[in-house]
Amino acid sequence: MTKATIYHNPSCSKSRSSLDILQNQEDLEIEEVRYLEQTPSKETLKTLCASMSISPFEIIRTGEALFKELGLSKIDQKTDDEWLEILVSHPKLIERPIIQIGDKVVLGRPPEKILTILPKS
């Protein structure tokens, strides 16, 4: 069986749709990480971003009220490490869902993006 990990918030419709897609696949062992309860480490987030070839800023929910409450801005000149620290301290800002299958990772927006990393049968 191939391992699939989904970092998500079950109250999010995109997260639930992504989990449904994974659960409808054969030969996938699914690990569900509810990131608001089990915040991924800085290193995990860094690895996930690197696997998607994106910066940590690209998985930040900039439209979230908390983003503005913290005084953050899209034009802030922060390092990747600083953004990662913010994500670990405030997991509500992590864009969801993030799906990892093997060494492939996608942001499940739209959820159908998962289909691009599913193992070939």
Single out the catalytic residue among 6, 7, 12, 95: 12
Backbone angles phi, psi at 12, to 5 degrees: -95, 130
**Order of all β-strands in the sheet with 2-8:** 28-34, 2-8, 98-101, 104-107
Q: For this structure, is 12 an active site residue? A: yes
What distance in Å separates the CA atoms of residue 67 and residue 60, rounded to the nearest whole number? 9
Inter-residue long-range contacts of 62-69, CB under 8 Å, 24+ positions, other chains counted:
64/92, 64/93, 66/90, 66/92, 66/93, 67/93
Give the pairing of strands 98-101 and 2-8: antiparallel
Q: Which residues are catalytic?
A: 12
